[in-house]
Amino acid sequence: MSLIKQEYFLIFLFFELCLVLAIIILIASSVLAIQVPNTEKLSPYECGFDPFGDTRHPFDVRFYLVAILFIIFDIESMYLFTWAISLAQVHSLGFWAMIDFIAELGIGYLYAWKVGALEWD
């Protein structure tokens, strides 16, 4: 067995096991589940309120802007935590690269604030 096959054999075996288990679970859930559809179960759930209107109505664009901004700054915090943990091992290039990253995100935040993407009227 070649070196690559030896190193990755367990990964491929785990992947195949996961694939087989996923197929078994999908088949078992469709065969064993008791399905009794009614109008109450098929109606959309809207935060405890009775459903109103068509479920395919468009969302306001500001909802997507806030969601994208949340994802961006969530990813930024992920980078900041890992960078803070490894701060002792990074050299000056790593330090200044993160400072540049924070500055660019700060400029993006100020731009989003200026154009009103953070306001919800």
The confidence score (pLDDT) of residue 100 equals 92
Sign of CA dihedral 38, 40, 46, 51: positive
Taking the model in full, what pTM does it have?
Answer: 0.45
Domain locations along the chain: 3-115
Give residues with Cβ within 8 angstroms of 69, minimum separation 6: 112, 117, 118
Quick check: 1 pLDDT over 70? no
The confidence score (pLDDT) of residue 74 equals 85
pLDDT band, very low/low/confident/very high, at 25 (cuts 50, 70, 90):
very high
The confidence score (pLDDT) of residue 71 equals 86
36-82 per-position pLDDT tens digit: 888 777 776 666 556 566 667 676 777 777 788 888 888 888 888 88
Fold classification of 3-115 is: Methane Monooxygenase Hydroxylase; Chain G, domain 1 (1.20.58)
The confidence score (pLDDT) of residue 41 equals 72
85-114 per-position pLDDT tens digit: 888 888 888 889 889 988 988 898 898 889
| Spatial separation of the C-alpha atoms in residues 100 and 80, rounded to whole Å | 12
